[in-house]
Structure 1
Amino acid sequence: MRIVVSGTHATGKSTLVADLGAALPGHDVLPDPWELVDEDLLPASAESFVEQLHVAADRLLALGPGERVVAERGPLDLLAYLEALDALGRPGVTAGSARALRSLTARAHAHVDLLVVLPLAGTIGVSVPDEEDAALREAADTALLDLLDDDELLPASTTVLEVGGDRSRRVGTVLDVLARRVSR
């Protein structure tokens, strides 16, 4: 099962990924793409989001059917951040680059079996540091939720699951869905 955990920053993705990794023996855990990009990049810049999108897409494209992974963030997350920058009037990418990144995102998400989304509305028990960019966080959440309805980005074969609640409820919900998929 190829699982991606998505959401804006400070929604509990890292915790859920760790919990799923512990609960799903044999699944490799793929870290947040931010951990794999040039550390000289500004964290909330278009350049950083583009580089992270490429990391997230490349690792999904390398997966074959039947591989077992839990990935923190997919390209859809980073596309949402780029759209959020645009919505906030901040420097972003050209229209041509945006089209190419959408295409890459669609190709990569064809390699995802389960997309678990942590919307801000369902965030319980997650502390947000004061230095977090609240406007970007909210705009990225809105953009991500809008992108979930884009049939060009997510194939019908990908199950999309929005989860909320506390830590145990989130992991329990995902494990219940996985158990139902296996029992089919």
Structure 2
Amino acid sequence: MRIAVFGAHNVGKTTLTEELLENLPGYTLETEPYYQLELSGYEFSENPTAEDFIEQFNYSVHLISESGDDVIFDRFVVDILAYLHVVDPNINIQSFFEKAQTLIAEIDLFVFVPIEEPDLMQDYQPDLAKLRSNVNDLLHDWISDFEIEVIEVKGTVLNRRNQVLDKISNPHLK
């Protein structure tokens, strides 16, 4: 099974993916494209730019295309595309949107981690709070635009983990 965990920054995606990895023997984790690119020497701008998100989008496409089964993706092309659109709404994202639509068929389970109320990360990176909120709102809209069937997880990391594991063991649960 291929699982994509997506959402805005600092909502607990990485913590959740690491928890899932510990509970799903035989699975591998594809860490967030940002970190993989950074490790390979890519230098990101101090402030997020469209070019940085295009690079991450293309790298994510590569990761999804090259990965096998039983993998968990920490980020998916849809949330990277949302960042691109929020950072520079004047960029024509149609070709990216179409590519994202084709990759959706490659994923078996989508896990959306939204900003919760109350926000557990209120004071973290206040300079990026508006970006985070706008991406979260856009992802809510795009879930229906892309016609993605998702499980939206909430609560503690253990609650979130259990929601995903329950969905895996009972795929017909809503």
Shorter-chain TM-score tier = 0.7 to 0.9
Q: Which amino acid aligns with 2:52?
A: S
Q: Cα distance, 1:145 vs. partner?
A: 1.1
User: What is the TM-score when the length of structure 1 is the normalising length?
Assistant: 0.82
Counterparts of 1:15-94 in structure 2, within 5 Å, are: 15-37=15-37, 38-42=41-45, 44-63=48-67, 67-86=69-88, 93=91
RMSD: 2.3
Aligned-pair CA distance for 1:100:
1.2
**2-side partners of 1:118 and 1:26: how far apart?**
23
CA distance in 1, matches of 2:2, 2:21: 12
Deviations 1:132-153, CA, capped at 9 Å, x for gaps: 5011000111111111011xx3
CA contact (8 A) 1:119 1:164 kept: yes
Say which is worse superposed, 127-136 or 170-179, in terms of deviation: 127-136
The answer to whether the Cα contact below 8 Å between 1:81 and 1:143 also exists between their aligned partners in 2 is: no
- Secondary structure at 1:4's aligned position in 2? strand
Q: Say if 1:108 and 1:178 are closer, same or farther in 2 by CA, change over 3 A.
A: same
* Contact 1:41 1:47 (8 Å CA) reproduced: no
Q: Partner of 2:111: helix, strand, or coil?
A: strand
Residue 13 of structure 1 corresponds to 13
Distance in 2 of aligned mates of 1:136 and 1:163: 21
Aligned partners of 2:119 and 2:125: how far apart in 1? 17
Does the CA-based 8 Å contact 1:113-1:159 persist in structure 2? Answer: no
Alignment match, 2:112: 117
Unaligned runs of 5+ in 1: none
Count of paired positions: 169
Corresponding residue number in structure 1 for 2:135 = 140
Q: TM-score normalized by structure 2?
A: 0.87
State the distance in 2 between where 1:166 and 1:123 align.
13
Aligned counterpart in structure 2 of residue 100 of structure 1, from 95, 100, 106: 95
The alignment-based identity, stated in percent, is 29
Q: Give 4+ residue runs of structure 1 displaced > 4 Å after superposition.
A: 122-128
Q: 1:127 to 1:139 in 2, by over 3 A?
A: closer
